[in-house]
Amino acid sequence: MSAPCVIFDLDGTLIDSVPAIHAISNTVLREMGLAELSEPKVRSFVGKGVPNLVRQLLIASGKDPDGPLFAQAEAALLAHYETDLEGNTPYPFVIEALDQLSEMGCALAICTNKPLKPAEAVLDYLGLRERFTLVLGGDSLPSRKPDPEMLRACHVRLGGGPMVYVGDSEVDAQTAENANAPFVLYTEGYRHTPVQDLPHQVAFADYRMLPGIIGRFQKDTA
């Protein structure tokens, strides 16, 4: 009976990163002489990677997302993304759940639309990086989620076999569907859609439940 590998989304799944992304976004907007945006507004832009975040910040500021400001805002955002790490916190009981999954023999990986360098920087900042065999970011491959290629590549690089994908958003549900992968939904992240309307195998709101959920997949796939 082999333990499934568990591939995690990052923002809104393992870590609450919106306070940090909100702060960075407002730093960039200030640098460009634009008005700050509220945290709920910025939260609604998270999940589809940096190009989408930058586009949405410009649109919300009444600017042309296809104009010259895009490159300026994207460069500024990426510069801050790797260094302004305050405001990133793991969700409650994430560490304990990761410990337990590792004890169960699960290989752990991250498949995030956050670019690789900021993803690695925040994992280092939180002391989590060593727990993951592999991290793929939104700029690691030619396409990002919901294209299934990232999830597939992650799975292949982990050696194949039983796997479960854990994420928080519409993008993650769609990615899992596109990759034909079992999807476990963390309900406390940044989704816009009611839980019952997002395709998923299992939903959970408390990380103390996750090892048991993954254990059920282990039995199912034995």
Q: Is the Cα torsion angle 61, 25, 189, 3 positive or negative in sign?
A: positive
Should residue 12 be labelled a site residue for ligand PGA when binding is judged by CB under 6 A?
yes
Instruction: Pick the piece of the chain touching ligand PGA (CB under 6 A) from 33-41, 42-50, 82-90, 210-218.
Output: 42-50
- Please state, in angstroms and rounded to a whole number, the distance separating the CA atoms of residues 214 and 101: 8
Q: How far is the CB of 18 from ligand PGA (least distance, A)?
A: 10
- Please state, in angstroms and rounded to a whole number, the distance separating the CA atoms of residues 188 and 89: 13
> Out of 3, 4, 5, 9, which residue is the one contacting ligand PGA (CB under 6 A)?
9
Residue 162's binding partner among Mg ion, ligand PGA, none (Cβ under 5 to 8 angstroms by kind) is: none
> Out of 88, 169, 174, 175, which residue is the one contacting Mg ion (CB under 5 A)?
169
Is 147 annotated as belonging to a binding site? no
Residue least distant from Mg ion (Cβ): 12
Instruction: Pick the piece of the chain touching Mg ion (CB under 5 A) from 47-55, 66-74, 115-123, 138-146.
Output: 47-55
Contact in structure between 109 and 137 (CB atoms under 8 Å)? no
Should residue 55 be labelled a site residue for ligand PGA when binding is judged by CB under 6 A?
no
Should residue 170 be labelled a site residue for ligand PGA when binding is judged by CB under 6 A?
no
Using the minimum distance from each CB to ligand PGA, give the nearer residue, 3 or 171.
171
| Phi, psi (deg, nearest 5) at residue 187 | -85, -5
Should residue 48 be labelled a site residue for ligand PGA when binding is judged by CB under 6 A?
yes
Using the minimum distance from each CB to ligand PGA, give the nearer residue, 4 or 138.
138
> Out of 47, 146, 148, 162, which residue is the one contacting ligand PGA (CB under 6 A)?
47
Is 168 annotated as belonging to a binding site? yes
Tokens 């439940």 sit on residue: 209
First to last CA, the chain: 5
Which residues, including other chains, have CB under 8 Å from residue 103's CB and lie 6 or more apart?
A: none
Helices (H), the chain: 18-31, 39-43, 50-60, 69-81, 94-103, 116-125, 149-157, 170-179, 210-221
Cis bond leading into 68, ω under 30°? no
Q: How far is the CB of 66 from ligand PGA (least distance, A)?
A: 19
Should residue 11 be labelled a site residue for Mg ion when binding is judged by CB under 5 A?
yes
Q: How far is the CB of 164 from ligand PGA (least distance, A)?
A: 16
- Please state, in angstroms and rounded to a whole number, the distance separating the CA atoms of residues 104 and 221: 15
Annotated catalytic residues are 9
The site for ligand PGA (CB under 6 A) is made up of 9-12, 46-49, 53, 112-114, 138, 169
